[in-house]
Structure 1
Amino acid sequence: MHNKSGKYIFHLFIFLFSGALNIYAQSYTPGNCLGYRVEDNLVIFNCQNNVDVQIEQINSGILKIWYDTDSFIRNNESFAVILKGNKEQAINITEQPGSYEIYTSDLIVRINKAPFQIRIFDKWQKLLMEDYKNKGFEADTLKMSSYKTLKPGERIYGLGEKNGNINRIGSSFKMWNSDKPCYQQQEDPLYKSIPFFMSSEGYGIFFDNTYKTEYDFGTESESYYSFSAPGGEMLYYFIFGPTYKQIISRYKDLTGKPIMPPAWGLGFAQCRGMLTNEELTREIAKGYRDRQIPCDIIYQDIGWTNNLQDFEWRDGNYENPQKMLSDLESEGFKVIVSQDPVISQANKSQWNEADSLGYFAIDSRTHKTYDMPWPWGGNCGVVDFTKPEVADWWGNYQQKVLDDGVRGFWTDMGEPAWSNEESTDRLFMQHHLGAHNEIHNVYGFTWDKVVTEQFEKHNPNTRIFQMTRAAFAGMQRYTFGWSGDSGNGNEVTQGWEQLEAQVPLMMSAGMGLIPFWSCDISGYCGDIEDYEELSELYIRWLQFGAFNPLSRIHHEGNNAVEPWLFGSEAEAICKKAIEMKYQLFPYIYTYAREAYDTGIPVDRALMLEYPKDIEVADLNSQFMFGKEMLVAPVVEEGAAFKKVYLPKGEWIDFNNKHQIYNGNSWIDYPVELETVPIFVRKGSFVPQAPVMQYIKEKSDYPLVVDLFPADINKKASFDVYEDDGVTNDYKSDVFGLRKMVCKTTRTNYELTYKESESGNYLLQNRVVFYNLYLDTMPANVFINGEKMKAGKLSDHRFESVNKTVWNWNKETNILVIAIPKGYDKYTISIEK
């Protein structure tokens, strides 16, 4: 291991030794470029002041840029980056009188010689990014920084799960994973560190540094932005788009694809802080099934174990945990249990075992196990997941409850907890791979990596469910995320601002490659003393949470937050919102696969879909749910209207499917307590399923497709994705598609359906119902050129259909077309 922690300071002292009056006030830059050398797919520029600059072509749109003062040796290889450049692809560089130029098929890089300055253009000579003057690299005794020119009107998005406006201009941020219970809506830092951001100029930056990095987007000056670090390397990746979606997709190539949850992971989940016993778990399960409110997951929080973290069911709390898990599984429930990354000193047997094996982080002062205060279970040893031998040891422990029937984990408090900036004593922790100031931000990442890799080792080809609080870039390869302890701890009923802040935080998380995300529905913090008083906020939080890819109801302590506790009206409204999520499962699951393939999140800021619409550039209050649907959750107390912006095109009110709004406009949408403003782009399919009590309760459920035809001479299309939902075969492209296209002409709608299978996957035979919302009854309906008969159709949620039939409801103006099982390809023509 090559330790570089003090090298910048060392070289700075050498550089400033002669004649400097105040070495602490001085800084240095590369100065002038003295020459260069080429090594395969990279070039190294030699500059004054003992600074070398390496530019490596990873591919035509990704460049690795590294400033160094010795031999380009890292303390640790990148935790996040998995994409390597091709050394056989020689870099293309030419020399001009005052500059050097590097060419890829996408980019032109111009490097000014005196002083050294990097400027990057697209192949059409549009300037994308440039160093601010000569300050592409600047270092002093405290930190090293990179400054970039900030163009007028430029917008910055990203940094993952961060508070504030989605447009980061005018804000500054810090990366230091922090345990922040009941955090305020502008508080920073939070739990995760994703040092990746995008510019409206067509590029992204991934700063590959695990230290306490800082980002300033125009608060010091309107002329530049900067990112800096107190240690490690000034190493970043330039990622060309030019669109936001292309930038995210290339960042996905750089740091890895996000794993898909099991299908059931996209259902609803119930938790609470004191949900740590069998009786309560069974009671909650019965409450959901008795009331016919869909639910897939019940969590067990900290306290389910005898000790942290022995993975032993707490004595007296569980009569027969294996039977409990089996019974719940038979009713459609999966149980997820928490993990903490520590061993309590009270857990003498396991603590002594880990201590004797050297599996804890050590105290650099005593060279003994670091004595970590912990919020639960007393002082602990911090498990050192950076040590390779720890993996199998931990994996064997966690497998005990998986063998019992537990279906996954949520890894909690992996910052690690009580290690915020003010807890400077934690900096004396030493991990196998480095000092804590380097490892802190990746500590939770290394834990999640072990959890997932060990799960897959012990349970081959089984899809993991793992949700985490603390993480670093690249987390998507191993885990999902939730936003931690939100809510108003002083007065739970006043958590409206905290709820409102979760909307842009969710969108930002998605742009940081956390596509599978949840908040704690109800807000985690605050004691509930009056359920009726809290009911409105609870309803609005749940309505928002229903459109999170992962949906979990959770609250601290023994504050119960099941929907039926808030009164009959609240129960009915919440049941309807939960049922809508289950109905939309085929739509959501299709976009879950898109997230795996492309990195584009299910919940997405509108600027991802409408990058040229200036109205959405700073829009924090609504989001796209996939490409077809727009959701504007109500997050204001006592709201009678919701102000909603609709981009270009025409939009159908999903709550009243005959109501159409013109786009490029703001509307005041009337809302009641049960209203969730949802809109669908004209020219869309929205595939759905009947309401089930848990995902895939009936494996042969019918597909119910809402079709909103496009304008004349245009098409609507959608490929409904299916796989087995439980294995990792999706990574080998074992899946099926139901491809639907509807072309609108002046005289008819022509709908084509075709099934496609990849690998050895066999699509489930399904009845398919199409709902078309039309102004007038069609003249005729044909299938494959033959006239289809009209007939009666009752409630078609699980109706058995043995022949093609269509029905016109003159009261609702809905055309329903039913196609029985066995049709894998057909064309339907609907005459206007």
Structure 2
Amino acid sequence: MIRKVWLFITGLVLSSVTLVAGECISYTKNGNQVIFNGKDGSKLSLTINSSSVVKVWFDQSGKFIRNNESFAVVNENLEDIGKIDVNDEPSCYEIFTSKLRIRVNKNPMQLQIFDKWQKLVFSDFKDKGHMADAKAVKAFKVLRNDEQFFGLGEKTGPLNRRGRSYKMWNSDRPCYSVTEDPLAKSIPFFMSSYHYGIFLDNTYKTEFKFGTESDEYYSFEAPDGAFIYYFIFGKDYKDIQEQYIDLTGKPIMPPKWALGFAQSRGLYTKEAQALEVAAEFRKRRIPCDIIYQDIGWTQYLQDFEWRRGNYTDPKGMLKTLKEQGFKMIVSQDPVVSQANKKQWEEADKSGYFVKDIRNGKSYDMPWPWGGNCGVVDFTIPGVADWWGTYQQKPIDDGISGFWTDMGEPAWSNEEDTDRLNMKHHIGMHSEIHNVYGLTWDKMVKEQFEKRNPNRRIFQMTRSAYAGLQRYTFGWTNDSGNGNDVLEGWSQLENQVAVGVSAGLGGIPFWTTDISGYCGDITDYNAMGELYTRWMQFGVFCPLSRAHHEGDNAVEPWMFGDVVEKNSKAAIELKYQLFPYLYTYSRKAHDTGLPITRGLFMEYPNDAEAVKIDNQFIFGEEMLVAPVLKKGERVKRVYLPDGEWIDFNDKKTVYLGGQTVAYRAPLNTIPIFVKKGSVIPMMPVMQYIHEKKDYPLFIHIFPNYEDETAKFELYEDEGENLDYLKDVYSKTNFACTTFADSFSTTVEPEDKGFKQSEKRNIVLRYHLDKKPGTVSVDGNVTSNVDEKIILEKLEKDFASPEWSWNEVTKECWVKIPDKRKSVNISIK
């Protein structure tokens, strides 16, 4: 009897858990794909996409069937790797590329990947490897005791994911905590300190457990769908991320004005208000490019009609804003309100809504705004032109873009299980949920470009899946402390890590909601410090938007004169750094590398740098350490190896490899620049390129003797799509240090574009002492007072001049930008 009970229990266990690390008995080969056959009928497919990228597909049934092709991967043919050979050894099969040694052990079946020096990079854990049960397909991988993990897109908590678990299920989580998961975007891509990345290309509610169950292994799993993941080997994190972008597509470049400052509010929904706020920015001389309009701007969701009574002359409003240098961005939701009878009946009759599997009718979706709605199914081919016609209305009126909000769709979080009854044209909601926002953003972009040829789209989204960079930009959802707005400091601090992690997910262009979205502001004086520090961080987000819920105003002047002064200075710095930021925007397009980078990415071998979550590298030359704690006036800043120069005074030098105490009163952002850097800047303007012929200020922090400081400045028209045709202008600056001199070359390269026909370049050398002579193209140049250069900066485009400032220790060399090579010698 006891034996029978034992056998019964054993049978239950075996029926609920199937270990698939059985014996591998053979393989078949088809081009660059090799399929390994398990004795139990399971199969493991390895597709060699390049010498360093392997597509892994495990299927317990051996059928290799998927409902939909990848929503994220757009390019699998990464490299011509030639003929694939499989070595059949007694205990394993082996495949060699120029960078990898891929081994499939026979019994038990076990995938292992080595680098070309035979070092184990990635391995199935013992006999587990890939396994399936009634709930999920799972992969278990060896976890080294010093292994660290980074990625997964916008996630809370520390950048290093080790010791934590995460889910992918796009969720509307307003006022989310510093540990809450999941959030609004699902990007199942991570990188390991052992020189590999994994992209799990599965749109269901996948899970990642980085050592939460064992110190010996980590795992990732999917409850349904094809179990496909890509192994990406690279020499460093940058190399891995670039290959991920090769797979999933290049980020689009924003229009240049998108990199200016933007102002928003939950109840920005009125014409007179928009004009008043815009006028106040210009009156106070605070730079600003964008005024947002939130959800209530429409008459109904989502008819794209201006709300009657709130807007009397929207075209006139937009014309006035344009004359003042402003753009307007309006929200759109992916639904049609039932109160919007004309459009709702039109869509319902055409079958354009997501269906309820229980009755075959349009799903009746409760919506946070505007009552119950129909959820538009953007996977239906006919929907695109229908929606595109509607969304073109405000574009024709003069708006400049959209923020696509609540694309989860909202109120479809884990606990909202009724939503799983939604049936989309291409699949059930369990499969489509995480890509719903992506299908919407794709359609918005395609319709925009179809109806507005050769014009860059501005689209900023809340909810999406891997690959969103091809269509949109992002913001980090509704942050802040809703219970007490003044206690939002921990949320502010974690926004640094959330934003850096967004960049790792292929979202180089993102913003936080400056001020934090959540919480009623009842004491503006008390809120002033938090607002100031959020602003000082926010201007270093590639996109910068101040935004808050309801009618809580967060314009800089609301918090008093001191806060306005310090906020204005921070915003002005963002505008001055535009040439630097725009150059890295082009690099982000070309490579997918983020603009705001964790220290671990630039200094992976610096054990202390890897631990830092509240600082970041801006571009490659600058380190920003925003103040993120209440009352803090001395910031402890970790500086990686090398020498770092205080960017605020441009004189004080700190030795890296240590933590320094940096004085940071409310008017100061701790910013440092690496020795041997070149930083291009421009004058403050009220909006991006208010003046076309602005001078360039090229800050040069010379390198060590016999070494060169370099920067390649990128410029283009800024609003059209010619950048995709490589129509641009580049200017190479290179300053070499010698024992008794500095030699600088300025090399222009114009490919169908010039920023200006008449402008000056001012090379601003940061030196220890006054030069003896300055020569330009071999001719000794006149030494004049710095004021003379400033007075003639936008008038005299003919004569080179130089100056010395004993207080700032700056040598200015003004040269006309005639788009010819120039050589400057300072002795």
1:764 aligns with 2:756: yes
Q: For residues 563 and 737 of structure 2, what CA distance do their matches in structure 1 show?
A: 42
1:700 aligns with 2:672: no
CA contact (8 A) 2:50 2:81 kept: no
What TM-score results when the alignment is normalised by the length of structure 1? Answer: 0.97
What TM-score results when the alignment is normalised by the length of structure 2? Answer: 0.97
CA contact (8 A) 1:154 1:200 kept: yes
Equivalent AA in structure 1 for residue 210 of structure 2: F
Q: Aligned to 2:369, what secondary structure does the other structure show?
A: coil
Which residue of the partner structure matches residue 811 of structure 1? 807
Stretch of structure 1 that moved more, 569-578 or 48-57? 48-57
Which residue of the partner structure matches residue 673 of structure 2? 680
Which residue of the partner structure matches residue 8 of structure 1? none
Equivalent in 789, 800, 804 of residue 795 of structure 2: 800
Equivalent in 389, 394, 397 of residue 396 of structure 1: 389
CA contact (8 A) 1:30 1:48 kept: no
Q: For residues 250 and 136 of structure 1, what CA distance do their matches in structure 2 show?
A: 25
How much has 1:812 moved relative to structure 2?
2.6
CA contact (8 A) 2:51 2:81 kept: no
Which residue of the partner structure matches residue 37 of structure 2? 46
CA contact (8 A) 1:466 1:480 kept: yes
Equivalent in 33, 47, 59 of residue 56 of structure 1: 47
Which residue of the partner structure matches residue 205 of structure 1? 198
Equivalent AA in structure 2 for residue 190 of structure 1: L
Equivalent AA in structure 2 for residue 806 of structure 1: W
How much has 1:792 moved relative to structure 2?
2.6
Equivalent AA in structure 1 for residue 53 of structure 2: I
Q: For residues 495 and 406 of structure 1, what CA distance do their matches in structure 2 show?
A: 33
Deviation sequence 1:68-93 (CA, Å, 0-9, x none): 12421210000000112379943222
Q: Aligned to 1:506, what secondary structure does the other structure show?
A: helix
Q: For residues 819 and 50 of structure 2, what CA distance do their matches in structure 1 show?
A: 44
CA contact (8 A) 1:772 1:814 kept: yes
Q: Aligned to 2:469, what secondary structure does the other structure show?
A: helix
Which residue of the partner structure matches residue 5 of structure 1? none
CA contact (8 A) 1:163 1:501 kept: yes
Q: Aligned to 1:596, what secondary structure does the other structure show?
A: helix
Equivalent in 539, 543, 567 of residue 574 of structure 1: 567
The within-5 A match list for 1:250-261 is 250-261=243-254
Equivalent in 539, 543, 550 of residue 557 of structure 1: 550
Deviation sequence 1:510-545 (CA, Å, 0-9, x none): 111110010100000001101001000000000000
Deviation sequence 1:572-608 (CA, Å, 0-9, x none): 0000000000000000000000101111111000111
Stretch of structure 1 that moved more, 418-427 or 778-787? 778-787
Q: For residues 242 and 179 of structure 1, what CA distance do their matches in structure 2 show?
A: 37
Equivalent in 111, 122, 141 of residue 118 of structure 1: 111
Deviation sequence 1:646-680 (CA, Å, 0-9, x none): 11111110111110101111101111011100000
Equivalent AA in structure 1 for residue 737 of structure 2: T
Q: For residues 501 and 281 of structure 1, what CA distance do their matches in structure 2 show?
A: 31
How much has 1:823 moved relative to structure 2?
4.9
1:26 aligns with 2:17: yes
Deviation sequence 1:266-321 (CA, Å, 0-9, x none): 00000000000100000100010000000000000001000000000000111110
1:79 aligns with 2:71: yes
The within-5 A match list for 1:407-806 is 407-758=400-751, 760-765=752-757, 766-794=759-787, 796=790, 799-801=794-796, 802-806=798-802
The within-5 A match list for 1:132-531 is 132-531=125-524
Q: Aligned to 2:73, what secondary structure does the other structure show?
A: coil
Equivalent AA in structure 1 for residue 821 of structure 2: K
Q: For residues 99 and 705 of structure 1, what CA distance do their matches in structure 2 show?
A: 59
Which residue of the partner structure matches residue 9 of structure 1? none
Ranges in structure 2 where 5+ consecutive residues have no aligned partner: 1-6
Deviation sequence 1:306-362 (CA, Å, 0-9, x none): 000000000011111011111101110000000000000000000000001110000
CA contact (8 A) 2:693 2:755 kept: no
Stretch of structure 1 that moved more, 811-820 or 32-41? 811-820
- CA-based RMSD of the aligned residues comes to 1.4
CA contact (8 A) 1:336 1:409 kept: yes
Q: Aligned to 1:375, what secondary structure does the other structure show?
A: coil
Q: For residues 287 and 690 of structure 1, what CA distance do their matches in structure 2 show?
A: 21
CA contact (8 A) 2:148 2:192 kept: yes
Q: For residues 489 and 433 of structure 1, what CA distance do their matches in structure 2 show?
A: 38
Q: For residues 576 and 9 of structure 2, what CA distance do their matches in structure 1 show?
A: 73
Equivalent AA in structure 2 for residue 602 of structure 1: I
Which residue of the partner structure matches residue 820 of structure 2? 824
Stretch of structure 1 that moved more, 482-491 or 816-825? 816-825
Which residue of the partner structure matches residue 10 of structure 1? none
Deviation sequence 1:201-232 (CA, Å, 0-9, x none): 00000000000000000111111110001101
Q: Aligned to 2:790, what secondary structure does the other structure show?
A: coil
CA contact (8 A) 2:515 2:531 kept: yes
Q: Aligned to 1:421, what secondary structure does the other structure show?
A: coil
Q: For residues 746 and 364 of structure 2, what CA distance do their matches in structure 1 show?
A: 63
Q: Aligned to 1:617, what secondary structure does the other structure show?
A: helix
Q: Aligned to 2:611, what secondary structure does the other structure show?
A: coil
CA contact (8 A) 1:172 1:215 kept: yes
Stretch of structure 1 that moved more, 306-315 or 777-786? 777-786
Q: Aligned to 1:21, what secondary structure does the other structure show?
A: helix
Which residue of the partner structure matches residue 4 of structure 2? none
CA contact (8 A) 2:169 2:205 kept: yes
Q: For residues 129 and 382 of structure 2, what CA distance do their matches in structure 1 show?
A: 40
CA contact (8 A) 1:115 1:134 kept: yes
How much has 1:764 moved relative to structure 2?
2.4
Equivalent AA in structure 2 for residue 799 of structure 1: E
